[in-house]
Structure 1
Amino acid sequence: MIGKLSGVIAEKSPPQVLIDVQGVGYEVDVPMSTFFNLPGLGEKTSLLTHLSIREDAHVLFGFLTAEERNTFRLLIKISGVGPKMALSLLSGMSVGDLAQTVAKQEAGRLVKVPGIGKKTAERLLLELKGKLSPDLALPVSVANDAQADILQALVALGYSEKEAGTALKSLPPDVGVSEGIKLAMKHLS
C-alpha cells in the first residue's frame, strides 16, 4: 500500500496531479480542496495517499491532511459511495462542513454536490452519524488576514486545522505572515 508520496509537482490538471518521485511519475487524483492548496509546478510537495485497486486499474488518491484521507476512507466504506463520489464530495465541501452537515442532519447540503441524490444523501447522513469528530465542525477563528494566511500555510504543510489553530493561539496578534509561520512551526515541533 502506498501511504504517502513526497516529490515534485510535474503536472497539474484538475482533479489530477503528477508527482515526480525520484524519476517515477505518480498520477494522483485529489479533491479540489487539496488541489488549490498545492504549490506550483516544479515545487516539492507531500501527499497522504489511498490506493484503490480495481480489476481494470490501480488509482491513487492524494490528500494534504490526515482528516481528509480519513474522511475519504469513511466515505468509501458506505454502500453506493465509490472513490470518485467520495472525491466529489470532498471537493464540494470541506471536512469541517461535512461534519457540520452530518451533525445537523442537513441532506439538502449534500444533494447540492454533483453525483449525490436524495437517497445517497440520506444514507450518508445515517452512516456518518457519530463517526465524524465534532471538533472538525468548529472553524478555527482568525483575527486578521495574516493569521488566515498562516493557518492556510500550516495546513498546506501537512498540519491539521486543529494543530494549526492551536499554534495560531500562541502567536502575538500583530505578527507578520513569514515570521508567524516560523513561530507556529517552532511551536508545533
Structure 2
Amino acid sequence: MIGRLTGVLLEKRPPQVLLNIQGVSYEVDVPMSTFYDLPAIGAHVTLHTHLIIREDAHLLFGFATEMERQVFRQLIKISGIGARTALSLLSGLSVLDLQQAVAAQDGTLLTRVPGIGKKTAERLLLELRDKLDLAGVTFDKSTAILHGSDVLNALLSLGYSEREASWAVKQIPANTTVSDSIRQALQLLSKEKK
C-alpha cells in the first residue's frame, strides 16, 4: 500500500495532480478541498494516499490531511458509495461539515453534493453515525445551513460554479453576516482567478 507521497508538484488538473518523486510521476486524484490548498506548481507537497487496485486500473487518491483520508476510507466501505462518490463528497463538504451533518442527522447538506440523492444521503447518515468521530461536534442548523445557503445561492446567481461557491463559503468564519460573507467570498474568488 502506498500511504504517503512527498514530491514536486508538476501539474494541477482538477481533480487530478501529477506528483514527481525522484523521477517517477504519480497521477493522484484529490478532493477539491485538498486541491485548493495545494502550493504552486514546482513546490514540494506531501499527500496522504489511498491506493485502490482493480483489474483494469490502479487508482491513487491523495488527501491534505490524515482525517480526510480516514473519512474517505469510511465512505468507500458503505454499500453503493464508490471512490468517485466519496471524492465528490469530500470535494463538496469539509470533514467538519460532514461530521456536523451526521451529528444533526440532516441530509439536506449532503444532497447538495452532485450525485447524492435523498436515499443515498439517508444511507450515509445511518452508516456514518457510529463511524465518524463526532465527539464535541455541534450543529446549529438555524444559522449554519441557512447562512451558508444564502451566501452560496448569491454566488451561484452571480455565475460562479457550485465548486467555486462552496469553496468560498467554507473560507468564511461562521459568525460573519450574510452581506459581509458575500463580500469576502467575492474577494476570495477574484484572487483565485488571478
C-alpha distance in structure 1 between counterparts of 2:56 and 2:132, whole Å: 32
Give 1:133 deviation, angstroms: 1.3
The aligned runs of 1:77-116 (5 Å cut-off) are 77-116=77-116
Cα deviation, 1:15-68, whole Å, max 9, x if unaligned, reads 000000000000000000000101110000000000011111100000010100
Tell which deviates more after alignment, 65-74 or 107-116: 107-116
Give 1:130 deviation, angstroms: 2.2
Give 1:138 deviation, angstroms: 6.2
Give the equivalent residue in structure 2 for 1:62: 62
C-alpha distance in structure 2 between counterparts of 1:35 and 1:118, whole Å: 27
Equivalent position SS for 2:102: helix
TM-score, normalisation: structure 2: 0.69
TM-score, normalisation: structure 1: 0.71
Give the equivalent residue in structure 2 for 1:53: 53
| Root mean square deviation, CA, Å | 1.4
Equivalent position SS for 1:87: helix
C-alpha distance in structure 2 between counterparts of 1:94 and 1:38, whole Å: 16
Equivalent position SS for 1:134: coil
Equivalenced residues, count: 139
**Pair 80,3 (structure 1): closer, same or farther in 2 beyond 3 Å:** same
C-alpha distance in structure 2 between counterparts of 1:106 and 1:138, whole Å: 12
Equivalent position SS for 1:119: helix
**Pair 33,7 (structure 1): closer, same or farther in 2 beyond 3 Å:** same
**Pair 135,44 (structure 1): closer, same or farther in 2 beyond 3 Å:** farther
Cα deviation, 1:71-101, whole Å, max 9, x if unaligned, reads 0000000000000000000000000000000
**Pair 136,117 (structure 1): closer, same or farther in 2 beyond 3 Å:** farther
Structure 1 residues not aligned, in runs of 5+ = 140-189
C-alpha distance in structure 2 between counterparts of 1:102 and 1:132, whole Å: 8
Structure 2 residue 71 is the aligned partner of structure 1 residue 76: no
What amino acid maps onto 2:31 in structure 1? P
C-alpha distance in structure 2 between counterparts of 1:135 and 1:9, whole Å: 35
Give 1:134 deviation, angstroms: 2.0
CA contact (8 A) 2:103 2:138 kept: no
Equivalent position SS for 2:103: helix
**Pair 120,136 (structure 1): closer, same or farther in 2 beyond 3 Å:** farther
Give the equivalent residue in structure 2 for 1:146: none
C-alpha distance in structure 2 between counterparts of 1:89 and 1:79, whole Å: 15
Give 1:132 deviation, angstroms: 1.2
Give 1:135 deviation, angstroms: 4.5
What amino acid maps onto 2:12 in structure 1? K
CA contact (8 A) 2:8 2:45 kept: yes
**Pair 138,27 (structure 1): closer, same or farther in 2 beyond 3 Å:** farther
The aligned runs of 1:7-156 (5 Å cut-off) are 7-135=7-135, 137=137
